[in-house]
Amino acid sequence: MMKIDPSINPINPGKPEGVSSTERNARRSDTVGEGASKDRAELSERARVLGKARLAFEQASDVRSEKVRVLKEQVDSGTYQIPYNELAQALLKRIGLK
């Protein structure tokens, strides 16, 4: 008497029944992707730059943060006055007209 194993796919012997196409594609991409491409250092470079920026920020003096706090309080209370002359001079200097 012949015994039938229900876990064997009769169309493709050796493959268990119930293996979806997505599982087959995932298996195929795993084997294809092994030698296809290598990791790039772009992320590591970004991390290095961000690390330097964070270090510079942490070493910056608290004078600027105090100035920002004072200006924020003035803006919130409505007492901040825009220094139009200083702003105009700085803009002209930046674009090279002064």
In this model, does residue 28 exceed pLDDT 70? no
Q: Which residue has the tokens 């009769």?
A: 10
d(C-alpha 96, C-alpha 93), whole Å = 5
Write down the pTM of the prediction: 0.34
Please check whether residue 52 is in contact with residue 44, taking contact to mean a CB–CB distance below 8 angstroms. Answer: no
Question: How many other C-beta atoms lie within 10 A of the C-beta of residue 8?
Answer: 13
pLDDT tens, 35-82?
A: 557 766 666 888 889 989 988 888 877 767 888 899 999 999 999 999
The residue among 52 and 31 whose pLDDT is bigger is 52
Domain ranges of the chain: 63-98
Q: How far apart are the first and last CA of the chain?
A: 102
Tokens coding 81? 């006055």
